[in-house]
Amino acid sequence: MSDFEKDAIRLLIVFNALRQAWAGAHYLNGSVGNTPGNNDGMKESRTLGRPRDTSYEKLAIRTGEWAKERCPGRYEKVSGYLFQPGSTELEQLKTFIEANKSLEADSWPSFNGTGLYPRRTGGKGSAIALGEDCLGKRHFDCISFVNWVVGTTLQKKPSWDITQYESGSGVPVERFDPLPVAKVQNADIVTRTNEKRKHIGLLTASGQVVHASGEAVGVITGPY
């Protein structure tokens, strides 16, 4: 393969990654490019359903669901607003829930015409966010995002972990290099490790990182 062909492949991978950021893909652990109601991700995927429980304690309206986890819908990226337990704003939210509780989850109006829907950011008693509807949004976590982007671009179905990307073991494109950023190429890999978890993303030639950042913001592009 010529250097020109390698560079072209790298560019396609980055473009595919950027498309997910531009489309506002959501973050959900264990989900590999799925959209609600479809089994349209990689081979590890499951169907993303839409929960029907709209009770106040288990509030999850118009969201994608993976096992027992619910997607809050990029709430910081879109609205930047949480209804904290005990806040006065919860009274308005409770009125909204009472007015619509007889409806199926798919039929609820958005909250006060915002185009956003209230849902829990975690379990019982957690904060409630105003987040996007998941309909039509792909869902990823950080490693599945890299696997999905690389795999769909190259028409492969990779299932590698972060350590394999760091070492280059079996990665289907030559030289997915980590730092230094000063010598970065399109589709280089960057990783970060702290006490709780490892994180992975794709670099662009300009040094920007494209990654599935977290449930509050989804897939984003930002400086290293």
pLDDT per position as a tens digit, 116-142: 998 888 777 778 888 999 989 999 999
Give me the pLDDT at residue 173, please: 67
User: How much is the pLDDT for 137?
Assistant: 94
Torsion angles phi and psi, residue 214, rounded to 5: 165, 170
Please count the CA atoms within 13 angstroms of the CA of 92 that sit on its side-chain side: 9
Ramachandran region, residue 115 (left: φ > 0; alpha: ψ -120 to 50; beta: rest)? left
Other residues' Cβ atoms within 10 Å of the Cβ of residue 46: 14
Chain segment 91-112, per-residue pLDDT in tens? 888 888 889 988 887 888 998 8
Tokens 């760091």, residue located: 166
Q: Report whether 130 contacts 79 (CB < 8 A).
A: yes
Q: Which of 49-58, 77-86, 112-121, 171-180 has the lowest mean pLDDT?
A: 171-180
Structure tokens given for 121 = 């950011």
pLDDT band at 175 (very low <50, low <70, confident <90, very high): low
Q: Give the pairing type, strands 26-27 and 208-214.
A: unpaired
pLDDT given for residue 46 in this prediction: 76
Cα gap 163→136, rounded to integer Å: 31
Query: What is the pLDDT at residue 163?
Result: 85
% of the chain at pLDDT higher than 90: 33
Tell me the mean pLDDT in the region 73-88.
82
Instruction: Indicate if the pLDDT at residue 212 is higher than 90.
Output: yes
Q: What is the pLDDT of residue 51?
A: 73
Tens-place pLDDT, residues 18-55:
999 999 999 998 889 999 888 888 877 778 887 767 77
- Rounded CA-CA distance 205/199 in Å is 20
Structural contact between residues 189 and 204, judged by C-beta atoms closer than 8 angstroms: no
pLDDT at 141: 93
Beta-carbon contacts of 8 under 8 Å, excluding residues fewer than 6 positions away, are: none
Token duo for residue 158: 């990779």
Angle 40-44-46 (CA atoms, 0-180°, nearest 5)?
Answer: 55
